[in-house]
Amino acid sequence: MPAKPKHSPVKSRWLILSHAFNMDGRAASQTITDKIPYFLDAGIEPTVFSSITGIKDTRFVHRQFLAWGPAAFRFDFRHWFANQYGRGLAYKVVTTAVSILLAPFTILERILLGLSSQWSWAMPAYLHGKRLIQNKKVDLVYSTAGAWSAQLAALWLKKRTSVFWMAEIHDPLVIRSNPDDLGFGVPNNRDARFRKWLETQICKYADVVWWFTNGALHYAKLRNPNLNQPGNAKGLMVIPGAEPLRDFEEVQLSKHNIQFHTYGNHLVISHFGSLAKNRSISMILNCLPIFFQRFPEARSIIKIHVYGAKIDLLAADAISQHGFSDLVVEHGRIEKDPITGQSGRKRIAELMQTSDVLLLLHGNDEWCAEYIPSKMYEYFWMDRPIWAITHRNAQMDSLLAERNAYVSSATDPSSIDHILEQIWLDWQKKNLNKVHCGPIGVDQAVKSILEHIEG
- Domains belonging to the chain, first-starting first, are 13-241+443-451 (3.40.50.2000), 246-428 (3.40.50.2000)
pTM of the shown model: 0.89
Tell me how far apart the alpha carbons of residues 313 and 48 are, in angstroms, rounded to a whole number: 38
Q: Which residues contact 431 (CB under 8 A, 6 or more apart)?
A: none
Residue ranges of the chain with per-residue pLDDT less than 70: 1-9, 245-259, 455
Nearest to 371 by CA among 208, 147, 220, 205: 220
Say if CB 417 and CB 294 are below 8 A apart: no
- The neighbouring-strand residues paired with 169 are 211
pLDDT value for 372:
97
pLDDT value for 2:
46
Upper half-sphere CA count for residue 131 (Cβ side, 13 Å): 7
pLDDT value for 335:
76
Say if CB 201 and CB 445 are below 8 A apart: no
- pLDDT tens digits, 97-137: 999 998 998 899 889 898 988 999 999 999 999 999 999 99
What's the sign of the alpha-carbon dihedral 128, 131, 134, 139? negative
pLDDT value for 9:
66
Query: Angle of helix 214-223 relative to helix 190-205, nearest 10 degrees?
Result: 90
3-state secondary structure of 30: helix
pLDDT value for 101:
92
pLDDT value for 409:
98
